[in-house]
Amino acid sequence: MSGEEFRERLAAVRRRIDDAARAAGRDPAEVRLLAVTKTVPADVVRLAIEAGCDRLGESRAQELVAKVAALIDVPPPGPRWVFLGPLQTNKARDVAAHADELHSLDRIELARALQRRLEAADRTLDVLVQVNTSRESEKSGVAPQDALGLVREVAGLDRLRVRGLMTIATRGGDDGEARRCFRELAAVAGRVRAEAIAGVVMDELSMGMSGDLEAAVAEGATTVRIGTALFGAR
């Protein structure tokens, strides 16, 4: 892919985000783009950075480590690296060392493993709790009714900063089903926010991908995770 082709794709995605925000009566600046770079070669990721993508999403710890190393020469401030996928506790060290955000926190055992690794690295990590609003058994994430309890537990770990929630809409669902998933996440976030838990900010809703970003923005997404529309099918 050439740099020009990527810039055209990026502009098209940003137009979609802006149009969706305006249609929902929102300021387009409220919605941030997270470029999902999993399986994308480092040279193409470099094009994305040069085009202005400042948040990059990876879902495998080994690939995150490799991409960070391959792009170490990117001029400061460089991109923020976001880990998106299911994470085993034995891979917590890689995420603690290299990621700036984690959007897939789904259990307290993982939070505690990250806390230990972050203490050792003297770092902090912004985290979003993943909520399984689709209730599909193959998906990670806590049940909606359990999200508040997990947030309360994580709030006691000083190296993790709970910033909000993440969800993935029902696989193969229509626009109405996607909006139901996203609406439920916003409702869960509202309940957590109402608790006013110390150290919990709750200003992020990470939801929506290439096929359903308009529905996500309509329901309050602050981050949309875009891979296919930018880099093609993988």
Residue 223 in domain: yes
Task: Say which range, 91-105, 107-121, 166-180, has the weakest mean pLDDT.
Answer: 166-180
Asked if residue 77 has a cis previous peptide bond (ω within 30° of 0), the answer is: yes
Residues 39-52 pLDDT 10s: 999 999 999 999 99
Of the pLDDT bands very low, low, confident and very high (cuts 50, 70, 90), residue 1 is: confident
CATH number of the domain bearing residue 154:
3.20.20.10
Predicted TM-score of the model (pTM)? 0.93
Which residues make beta-bridge pairs with 126?
101, 161
Residue 153 in domain: yes
Q: Which residues constitute the domain of residue 146?
A: 3-228
Residue 33 in domain: yes
Residues in the chain: 234
